[in-house]
Structure 1
Amino acid sequence: MRQAYRSRSAFILGWVWVAFAALNVFDLIVRYNGKASLVALAVLAVLTALVYLAALRPVTLFTETALVGRNPLRTTTLPWESIEEATVSHSINVRYDGRLLRLWTPISGARERAKAQRRGAAPPRRGRFDTEPVLSPAEQAAAQALAGKTHADWVGEQIAERAESARRREQDAGPVRVSWAFDSFAALAVALVMVVVAVVAG
């Protein structure tokens, strides 16, 4: 079973940009007027390539056998047994074979961290009588478990737990695979071609 973790807001905004760019490309082709249209197409191509790299491509995947980190220019596949440690700062940092993989998503921003800290704090009393609803023991335990934790913290914990579970099974770790993101380079190549065409046409 595959589980995917990404920045939801970046993913949504990325597809909104793609739709916006597609409509503009159609309009520029229909109303083509030479150099100005080519320059506009080149700008759209460059921005769309950057949006794809930064917002649409990054994802952290959990599979049965491995953690897959898709960053803008590379994809790293780590068998769970090969993971030594997972820590969270601004990003999730995964150590394996003496090396470090920084996952691009989910990230823990300062605003999200502050919100998590506030969520874990006790609500202020409002006056003489406590009118706040009383939480059950199970609800209190859940609130304490989540207190001060961001989505990135939770995903980092899941990575550490899966890695520990895999190591306890004492199976041989499969190979670590790191590959270049050919889709990203293709997007950049298209953008570069459009820039060259716009310059040459001038």
Structure 2
Amino acid sequence: MTTPEHQPPTPDPASKDRVFRSPMGIVGGVALLALVLWLGVDALVRGEGRTQWLALAALILIVPLVSAFTLRPAVYANEDRLRIRNPLRVIVLPWGQVASLRSGYSNEVVAKSGTKFQLWAIPVSLRARKKAARRSARA
């Protein structure tokens, strides 16, 4: 695990984590994996010559990438800490180190040290963003 100050990870929390994920990201990832596996296995079974090797190489490349960018991202929150699981790393922030949560074109956590961390798992609704901008402009 990676923490902002490279400290050892905190022990398991006393309370259960609440998990935040994009349901449509998961649905899209599963659908994309099903399509890639269907086409790849078909090319492996029915292909001739180089087609089988190209299909195998494509499967080895595409399946981990789709899994990492659609199924892996998650944000875990409990009373003690915020754990962000992005495609390539895990960030653990105790709530005392969190300065703010911001939402613009993407959601991000800003630590007290000034470091920004993107929340890949929580998408930004452009409709809700425009609605909030109109509401704040009226106020």
**TM-score computed with the length of structure 1 as normaliser:** 0.50
CA contact (8 A) 1:60 1:103 kept: yes
Which residue pairs with 2:48 in the alignment? 33
1:68 pairs with 2:83? yes
**Selected match of 2:98 from 83, 90, 97:** 83
Unaligned runs of 5+ in 1: 122-146, 149-202
CA contact (8 A) 2:44 2:55 kept: no
Structure with the bigger percentage of helix? 1
Aligned-pair distance for 1:81? 1.9
**Match of 1:61, SS?**
strand
Larger Rg: 1
Aligned-pair distance for 1:43? 2.5
**TM-score computed with the length of structure 2 as normaliser:** 0.70
CA distance in 2, matches of 1:10, 1:20: 15
Which residue pairs with 1:105 in the alignment? 121
Aligned-pair distance for 1:21? 2.6
User: Alignment RMSD, CA only?
Assistant: 2.5
State the AA in 1 paired with 2:42: D
CA contact (8 A) 2:37 2:59 kept: no
**Match of 1:113, SS?**
helix
CA contact (8 A) 1:84 1:95 kept: yes
Identity rate of aligned residues, in percent? 28
Which aligned segments of 4 or more residues in structure 1 are displaced greater than 6 angstroms?
none
Aligned-pair distance for 1:92? 2.2
User: 1:72 and 1:14, CA in 2 relative to 1: closer, same or farther beyond 3 A?
Assistant: same
Which residue pairs with 2:24 in the alignment? 9
Aligned-pair distance for 1:32? 4.7
Aligned-pair distance for 1:29? 3.4
CA contact (8 A) 1:2 1:63 kept: yes
State the AA in 2 paired with 1:93: E
**Match of 2:52, SS?**
helix
User: 1:35 and 1:80, CA in 2 relative to 1: closer, same or farther beyond 3 A?
Assistant: same
How many residue pairs match? The answer is 119
1:23 pairs with 2:38? yes
CA distance in 1, matches of 2:100, 2:32: 36
